Amino acid sequence: DTGVSQDPRHKITKRGQNVTFRCDPISEHNRLYWYRQTLGQGPEFLTYFQNEAQLEKSRLLSDRFSAERPKGSFSTLEIQRTEQGDSAMYLCASSLGTSGPTSYEQYFGPGTRLTVT
């Protein structure tokens, strides 16, 4: 399977604990995005990378959230001191970095469902 993969698929944690999620994009894609989706809503943008550079962060991304893409391949999203309001599906997507219309087509991974108890 050459699509976007995410790990773990499900995570249950207690409030106050730290969690880390991983995303592996499609191999030739150099843009990587993180979104958060809650029940009944569309995905909300969190942050994105072009290669290893984090180019934009949403206001939704509090100081407890940090993302990295150290070698321009896989990315990690860490949430520190989790709160119940962090419970959501965390989606990763990737897209080609070339110019042209297809560079805007984003392909999503299966997501990591986080439950904070």
Partner 1 sequence: EDKVVQSPLSLVVHEGDTVTLNCSYEVTNFRSLLWYKQEKKAPTFLFMLTSSGIEKKSGRLSSILDKKELFSILNITATQTGDSAVYLCAVVPSNDYKLSFGAGTTVTVRA
Interacting residue ranges for partner 1, rule: CB under 8 A: 4, 31, 33, 35, 40-45, 48, 56, 58, 91, 93, 95, 101-111
CA atoms within 13 A on the CB side of 96: 8
Q: Which is nearer to partner 1, 80 or 110 (CB)?
A: 110
Nearest-angstrom CA–CA distance, 55 and 52: 9
What would you measure as the largest C-alpha separation in the chain, in angstroms?
44
- For Cα atoms 66, 41, 58, give the angle at the middle one, nearest 5 degrees: 30
Q: Which is nearer to partner 1, 74 or 108 (CB)?
A: 108
Q: Which is nearer to partner 1, 9 or 15 (CB)?
A: 9
Nearest approach, Cβ of 26 to partner 1 (angstroms)? 12
